[in-house]
Amino acid sequence: MARDRLIYLPLGGAGEIGMNAYVYGFGPEGKERLILVDLGIAFPDMDSTPGVDVILPDISWLRERAERLEAIFITHGHEDHLGGVGHLLPFLDAPVHARRFTANLARRKLTEKGQNPDAIRIAKPFPEMIAAGPFQVGFLPVSHSIPESSALVIDTPAGRVIHSGDFKIDRSPVVGEPFDADLWAEAAKPGVRALVCDSTNVFSKHEGRSEAEVAPNLKPLVASAKGMFVATTFASNVARLQSLAEAGKAAGRSICLMGRAMRRMTEAAVEEGLLKDFPRTVSPEDAASIPRENLMLIVTGSQGERRAASAQLARGKYFGIELAEGDTFLFSSKTIPGNEKDVARVMNDFSEMGVDVVTDDDGLYHVSGHANRPDLEIVQGIVDPQIVIPMHGEHRHLREHAKLADRLGRLGVVAPNGTMLDLAGNQPRVVDHVETGRTYLDGSILVGQFDGVIRDRVRIALNGHVVVAVMVDDDDEVLEDTWVDLRGLPELTRSGQALASLMEEHLAMQLGRIDTRTAGDDEKLEDMITKGIRKVAQDEIGKRPEVTVLITRLTAE
Amino acid sequence: MARDRLIYLPLGGAGEIGMNAYVYGFGPEGKERLILVDLGIAFPDMDSTPGVDVILPDISWLRERAERLEAIFITHGHEDHLGGVGHLLPFLDAPVHARRFTANLARRKLTEKGQNPDAIRIAKPFPEMIAAGPFQVGFLPVSHSIPESSALVIDTPAGRVIHSGDFKIDRSPVVGEPFDADLWAEAAKPGVRALVCDSTNVFSKHEGRSEAEVAPNLKPLVASAKGMFVATTFASNVARLQSLAEAGKAAGRSICLMGRAMRRMTEAAVEEGLLKDFPRTVSPEDAASIPRENLMLIVTGSQGERRAASAQLARGKYFGIELAEGDTFLFSSKTIPGNEKDVARVMNDFSEMGVDVVTDDDGLYHVSGHANRPDLEIVQGIVDPQIVIPMHGEHRHLREHAKLADRLGRLGVVAPNGTMLDLAGNQPRVVDHVETGRTYLDGSILVGQFDGVIRDRVRIALNGHVVVAVMVDDDDEVLEDTWVDLRGLPELTRSGQALASLMEEHLAMQLGRIDTRTAGDDEKLEDMITKGIRKVAQDEIGKRPEVTVLITRLTAE
């Protein structure tokens, strides 16, 4: 008789920071009943994904087994955990469980996309457990940088797993539940087979700091500002919004929230009773008429995103408001790696306006939402798991975290995306490697990572594009007027000749000599023309462009 | 009679970090005799300059006045100060002055490009002065992260200017001259009208650290390593190469330098007598046969550059050498903003191999080459200039640096690229704004920033490219077989239809209805087709692609 397996399979998030999606399964091989933890997105960049709107995990493996999926559990409302729901839920017919605030955000997403928000079910916190096939799953409250984050207590016939979600140890998180060591100890009491754990800050050696440490620094900063005060932070950090708004109110300023995400988050937080005494705000339209020294804007765009409010203000007037000499702009945030140039652009634009930019360089105005190394040690101590499986990190984070577990006398297992572990036996075993990857939302279409669509765009960006239109008559003779059109290439060569004309001349010469067998074969003709174009380009401008050949065959009618 | 002006005009480097190029001029308005200080490059990125090889300052203003240019002075051998010489010197017929080591590097560049290296002249250090029209210029030695860096003492009939170049205050720089406060005081003695000063580290509040502090940390790290030891740093940091090699030698390891820049720098340093007791090295070819625990590689690629040695090793075997579990890879460097993802990629690749990656996170294995804020204060104190003009920084650095000068009781002037200051009067005055910008070396062609070439490549990268071939007969009738070809766009729409076919059908319908006046006018026809294609794309895939229309007019022969 086949032994039941307890499988762990990350489809996203293990080996990268972003697009979290973790599968657990229990049952005989190939018949495991499944649950999915989180369904997030990652963000595109020009280097590898120009023009892409959103990056999603490739969930082909799960789609092919959708009938075995019992439920989806979302640990918290950040985009890298929740953002995929609107895009991928149509392929996964399963209920989605989340706590109130997260559910509120998820429903908004589905409603925006014209989908049924009833797929989202509200979960009560641990010790309440939700049945999902052979699993019992409880939402264990934990502190993070968004309210109502949860670890998951996952009970299976093969033992208990705790999936940490994103977390930090914060005993005074300003908004939402503090880290409750007693509750965690209670969850750990029956014994924990594996702790699947956030690795983001494993390289940060100092103890983590509480959200409550920020507010006392904000107050004097806002109080001493002379002109308008503008602050940006992550819109989902509702606690920070509260601290910022209170600092503004204490300084006698009207508070104005700018940016869609900012308003969506505060609305959801008010609806769910998390923000009870948030200062009254004014609309952007009304803000323009308030004297600048009495105004505080809290805006989106802490990462320098071009369309967010901070970048709009950096470029000039936005909603009738324009920053000026003597105003202050605070980044109550950190710059996520990869966004440095965008953030610097915003800072420099403000500098040109004479706006004083304040950052968290001295650690005064931001704290991280993730557990640092000493905090990871504390949690391992409380949970006391046999196995630690690092997740939510690049490979170097996973490896360092596994080493930390080893050093603490546990078994650390590095399992990047696609690694299927069986946790049911005496020792965790790698039982399969599953093809994983990324799916791109490009416009309104889902495009595969290896479909070649984005690759072609990158190639043209690097090399330019030459388009050749050639006509062949019904005797397989190439007509003389072959056309060359250049995109993203210089018009003139170093010696001042027209590049397109040189190419046309080269083709005329080449095509004048070919036999009808080549002219009659689209593939051969295209290959010959492409090589000819590349040779001219290489000689004349030192580049090897992408080439598209359009062959029109004229037929006698 | 026209008063003589002393002009300062940054063409690059003021308002950015990179491509330094500063013009000084003296004489009556419009007849100033000119000198150029530095001629550097900047590096491209996918966001704004995909496929570009090198970014150069736009020196059109100077080219138009090339007959007034007396000389070019290069402060030191970094690419952002020297790198443009090989590309732009042909347009500027002037002698280039530099100290020995810098001149050695400059001559190599010219020789590589088949240009005459004799344009480069070797300068002796201050108090020796070089005459250049109305200017007398002396190379004032200063410590930085490359040997023989110099500030320039620029004497004019309107007074003395000190142009700092890149510098730090380092009294024990391991290789090259220490910062010599007495010599600087001597240079300042006659009184200094303006200090034009490096602003890179103006936001760094702690005192700068000496290069000599790194070696004592390297030794125990290398000594305790078990497998192969590989270190990367900036190839031009010859002092660091020396410290690394000595740490390797002390640990009984053979030293191998990998990467072209690494070898070029050490060769130049040996030739100029700067590296006297560098440990003997082995070639990459010989290194492969040395037991890994006896080998130390010093490699290029501290910024994760894809073609550099570190990235090659991260991808697998390179020169027969392959890293493995138990080896150590040290980044004896900092990550320049914008390079975070490339560096992380290399780190993660090594992590997958089981290589232990060590970084400068704790400040043990790297020191900056630029003066921090307290050091800038010290230098202002020694030089005691009337005016401080910050350069070598983004706008926010320039502004902060000017504020610092103001606070110290001097006059700080923010003068970004294109600002022409006259320093001859009682107060510095902005007398002109000159069009500046960037020139791209793309393949072998110099392309202007606003020529549209790179803009087209970026647009295609973001939106994809549709090519349409349409034929019109000599009666201005559009023939039916219009062709559509897609690049960088999905083949199928959401509903599974072929996008190109849908576009062709739409065009057939549209073109079937048009009058011969539209069909007879290339511009109207192109405009109509482009709009039609974009509409179909928007409806079917949610994107607005770039469109190229090739119209072939058939003529009866």
In order along its 557 residues, chain B shows pLDDT tens digits of 569 999 999 999 999 999 999 999 999 999 999 999 999 999 999 999 999 999 999 999 999 999 999 999 999 999 999 999 999 999 998 999 999 999 999 999 999 999 999 999 999 999 999 999 999 999 999 999 999 999 999 999 999 999 999 999 999 999 999 999 999 999 999 999 999 999 999 999 999 999 999 999 999 999 999 999 999 999 999 999 999 999 999 999 999 999 999 999 999 999 999 998 899 999 999 999 999 999 999 999 999 999 999 999 999 999 999 999 999 999 999 999 999 999 999 999 999 999 999 999 999 999 999 999 999 999 999 999 999 999 999 999 999 999 999 999 999 999 999 999 999 988 999 999 999 999 999 999 999 999 999 999 999 999 999 999 998 888 888 887 788 999 999 999 999 999 999 999 999 999 888 888 888 899 999 999 999 999 999 999 999 999 999 998 887 65
- pLDDT, residue B25, reads 98
What residue in A sits closest to B398 (Cα-Cα)?
A351
What is chain A's mean pLDDT, rounded?
A: 96
- pLDDT, residue A476, reads 83
Q: Which residues of A touch B465 (CB under 8 A)?
A: 460, 465, 487
**Chain B 467-486, CB below 8 Å of chain A: which residues?**
467, 469, 471, 481, 483, 485
- Annotated domain spans of chain A: 5-206+368-448, 211-358, 464-553
pLDDT tops 60 at residue A179: yes
Does any CB of chain A come closer than 8 Å to the CB of residue B396? yes
Q: A166: which strand partners?
A: none
**Chain A 343-372, CB below 8 Å of chain B: which residues?**
344, 347-348, 350-352, 354, 357, 361-362
Does any CB of chain B come closer than 8 Å to the CB of residue A456? yes
Q: Please report, as a single letter, which amino acid is at residue A459.
A: R
Residue among B362, B453, B548 whose CB faces A485 most closely: B548
Does any CB of chain B come closer than 8 Å to the CB of residue A336? no
Is B487's CB within 8 Å of A546's CB? yes
* Interface A:B, Cβ pairs < 8 A: 187
pLDDT tops 70 at residue A238: yes
Q: Which of B113, B457, B549 is the best residue to mutate to test the A interface, defined by the most A CB atoms within 10 Å of its own CB?
A: B457
Residue among A337, A442, A550 whose CB faces B483 most closely: A550
State the nearest Cα–Cα gap between B453 and chain A, in angstroms.
Answer: 4
Does any CB of chain A come closer than 8 Å to the CB of residue B399? yes
Does any CB of chain B come closer than 8 Å to the CB of residue A493? yes
State the nearest Cα–Cα gap between A393 and chain B, in angstroms.
Answer: 10
Number of helices (H), then strands (E), belonging to chain A: the values are: 17, 29
- pLDDT, residue A557, reads 52
Q: Which residues of A touch B394 (CB under 8 A)?
A: 344, 347-348, 351
Is B51's CB within 8 Å of A542's CB? no
State the nearest Cα–Cα gap between A294 and chain B, in angstroms.
Answer: 26
Residue pair B443/B50 in contact by the 8 Å Cβ criterion = no
The model's pLDDT over A152-163, given as tens digits with 9 standing for 90+, comes to: 999 999 999 999
Does any CB of chain A come closer than 8 Å to the CB of residue B336? no
Does any CB of chain B come closer than 8 Å to the CB of residue A272? no
Does any CB of chain B come closer than 8 Å to the CB of residue A90? no
> What φ, ψ does residue A325 adopt, rounded to 5°?
-40, 130
Residue among A453, A489, A550 whose CB faces B488 most closely: A453
**CATH class, range A211-358:** alpha beta
pLDDT tops 60 at residue A1: no
- What pTM does this model have? 0.95
Q: Closest Cα to residue A503, out of A533, A474, A541?
A: A533
Is B348's CB within 8 Å of A447's CB? no
- pLDDT, residue A71, reads 98
- pLDDT, residue A531, reads 97
Average pLDDT of span A360-372: 96
Residue with tokens 């993802």: B341
Assigned token pair, B394: 């983004």
- pLDDT, residue B1, reads 53
Distances (CA, A) of B124 to A75, B99, B155, B228, B473: 67, 6, 16, 42, 74
The model's pLDDT over B41-83, given as tens digits with 9 standing for 90+, comes to: 999 999 999 999 999 999 999 999 999 999 999 999 999 999 9
Domain B5-206+368-448 has CATH 3.60.15.10: yes
Is B50's CB within 8 Å of A344's CB? no
Q: Which residues of B touch A352 (CB under 8 A)?
A: 395
- In total, chain A counts a number of residues equal to 557
State the nearest Cα–Cα gap between B511 and chain A, in angstroms.
Answer: 18
- pLDDT, residue B477, reads 84
Handedness of CA B368, B372, B374, B378 (dihedral sign): positive
Is A50's CB within 8 Å of B46's CB? yes
**CATH class, range B464-553:** alpha beta
- pLDDT, residue A146, reads 98
Does any CB of chain B come closer than 8 Å to the CB of residue A15? yes
Give the distance from CA B323 to its chain's centroid: 30
Does any CB of chain B come closer than 8 Å to the CB of residue A541? yes
The model's pLDDT over A57-92, given as tens digits with 9 standing for 90+, comes to: 999 999 999 999 999 999 999 999 999 999 999 999
Residue among B337, B399, B471 whose CB faces A552 most closely: B471
Residue pair A193/A423 in contact by the 8 Å Cβ criterion = yes
Taking each helix axis as running N to C, give the angle between helix B453-463 and helix A453-463, from 0 to 180 degrees, rounded to the nearest 10.
180
Q: B525: which strand partners?
A: none
- pLDDT, residue A211, reads 97
State the nearest Cα–Cα gap between B423 and chain A, in angstroms.
Answer: 22
Tell me the ipTM for this assembly. 0.94
- The DSSP line for B80-127 is HHHTTHHHHGGG----EEE-HHHHHHHHHHHHHTT--GGGEEEPPBTT
Burial of A465 (0-12, 13-18, 19+ CB in 10 A): buried
Does any CB of chain B come closer than 8 Å to the CB of residue A432? no
Q: How far apart are CA B162 and CA B137, in angstroms?
A: 10
The model's pLDDT over A274-302, given as tens digits with 9 standing for 90+, comes to: 998 899 999 999 999 999 999 999 999 99
pLDDT tops 80 at residue A221: yes
Is A348's CB within 8 Å of B15's CB? yes
Residue among A354, A398, A552 whose CB faces B481 most closely: A552
State the nearest Cα–Cα gap between A29 and chain B, in angstroms.
Answer: 28
